[in-house]
Amino acid sequence: MYKVAVTSRCRVAVAGATGYIGVQCVEILARHPNVELTRLLARSHAGRRFPEVVPGSTVDMPLEAGFEVDGVDAVLTALPHTVAAAHARQWIEGGAVVVDMSADFRLRDAAEYERWYGVPHPAPGLCGESVYALCELLDGELRGADLIAAPGCYPTATLLATVPALRAGLVEADLVVDAKSGVSGAGRSPSLGVHYAEVNESVRAYGVDGHRHKAEMIQELRRAAAAGGMARGVVDPPQTDLRLTFVPHLVPMTRGILATAYLRPLPGTGFAQLREVYAELCAAHPCLRYDETPPATKSVAGSNVAALNVGWQDGVAVVTCAVDNLLKGAGGQGIQALNLRFGFEETAGLPLYSRWP
């Protein structure tokens, strides 16, 4: 069995280690050149060893109950909503950086959290302290951060497809996004909605009246629209003018998200200008790739890379973004943020190539 090395400088615990996202984190961190993976927390499987719960894994570590993480430098949390929030302050005060992959700290407004998730926020005082870590759209905010919120999988693909054009002041703040996800986005716990017989050979839209990930998208899009207004010389543009129509779909595949954004260019903006914005962004970031044709989800499956393409149809920009929902859309992105926070190579430990076919 693979034994985790104990010579690395950053001691990391994973809470929620046996869910789909937690498993991605464990497998990457166990082989990360700058990390010592010290503790795996998984209440429902406490007392067992990781390979007993995750078939094929060679990470031979015990699974622990509880939420005590003394002696670690960072905690990566892949827990159900509200659970991480209930323990985050304790972890931070104990000296750990918290990288949360639930929705608990993505929204800066605790009232918005309650509106979309149906429960009061367990730690409303921390909401304004987190850094929303879509790494390619940040400007150094991760340095010194104690609380990092990894974006949701749909927001990752949607924001990468829309924010660059909006922030550059090239498109209207009236966005339409169609997104499709594999069933692993629903998590590892069984439910009727992702039962094989229910999803196989079928595609359906859901959340048409408002998917809860839309809240964090709107939050970040408003920031981008404000930056875009300033780029055009508009001082303090009204954020309430921004509108997003977002419709997710469930498709019969295991992993992957494809977001297609329809953007209306402002007068004077053409295809070449928009393409340049996205191509330059991809060239500047190792976990982005610009494709000359619309990407397929299989081309990024198993990698921490987001693939982007800009198309054009009858004066409308059609931007597509493909990500692996469990990696760039979740666990991989959390580790990418961890790398930046601790000054490691941004891609340290991360898979950057898909398995094809």
Encode pLDDT of 209-221 as tens digits: 988 899 999 999 9
Q: In the chain, which segments carry CATH 3.30.360.10?
A: 154-323
Residue type present at position 170: L
Is the pLDDT at 323 greater than 90, yes or no? yes
- All residues at 6 or more sequence positions from 197 whose CB lies less than 8 Å from its CB, including other chains: none
Cross-strand partners of 339: none
Reply yes or no on whether the pLDDT at 240 is more than 70: no
User: Measuring CA to CA, which residue among 250, 246, 248, 153 is closest to residue 192?
Assistant: 250
Rounded to whole angstroms, what are the CA distances from 302 to 116, 231, 317, 332?
A: 30, 37, 28, 10
- Mean pLDDT lowest for which of 77-81, 192-196, 199-203, 235-239? 235-239
CATH of 154-323, one of 3.40.50.10860, 3.40.50.12780, 3.30.360.10, 3.40.630.10: 3.30.360.10
Bond prior to 252 in cis (omega within 30° of 0)? no
For the domain spanning 10-150+330-341, the CATH number is 3.40.50.720
Q: What angle do CA 260, 265, 266 make, to 5 degrees?
A: 155
CA-CA distance, 269 to 279, in Å (whole number)?
16
Type and span of the H or E element at 334: helix 331-341
**In what order do the strands lie in the sheet containing 243-250?**
204-205, 243-250, 174-181, 257-263, 316-323, 306-313, 288-290
Asked whether residue 3 carries a pLDDT value surpassing 80, the answer given is no
The pLDDT of residue 5 is: 40
What pLDDT is stored for residue 235 in this prediction? 61
Question: Tens digit of pLDDT for each residue in 100-156?
Answer: 999 999 999 999 999 999 999 999 999 999 999 999 999 889 999 999 999 999 999
CA atoms within 13 A on the CB side of 165: 33
The radius of gyration of the chain's CA atoms, rounded to the nearest angstrom, is 20
Average pLDDT over residues 250-260: 96
Angle between helix 331-341 and 20-29 (nearest 10): 40
Q: Give the per-residue pLDDT at 237.
A: 56
Which of 86, 89, 92, 60 is closest to 73 using CA atoms?
Answer: 92
Residue 153 appears among annotated catalytic residues = yes
Residue intervals of the chain classified under CATH 3.40.50.720 are: 10-150+330-341
Contact between 252 and 183 under an 8 Å Cβ cutoff? The reply is: yes
127, 153, 287, 321: the catalytic one is 153
Q: Model-level pTM greater than 0.85? A: yes
The residue with greater pLDDT, 37 or 198, is 37
Is it the case that residue 233 has pLDDT exceeding 50? Answer: yes
Give the pLDDT score at 194. Answer: 83
Torsion of CA 326, 248, 170, 128, to 10 degrees: -60
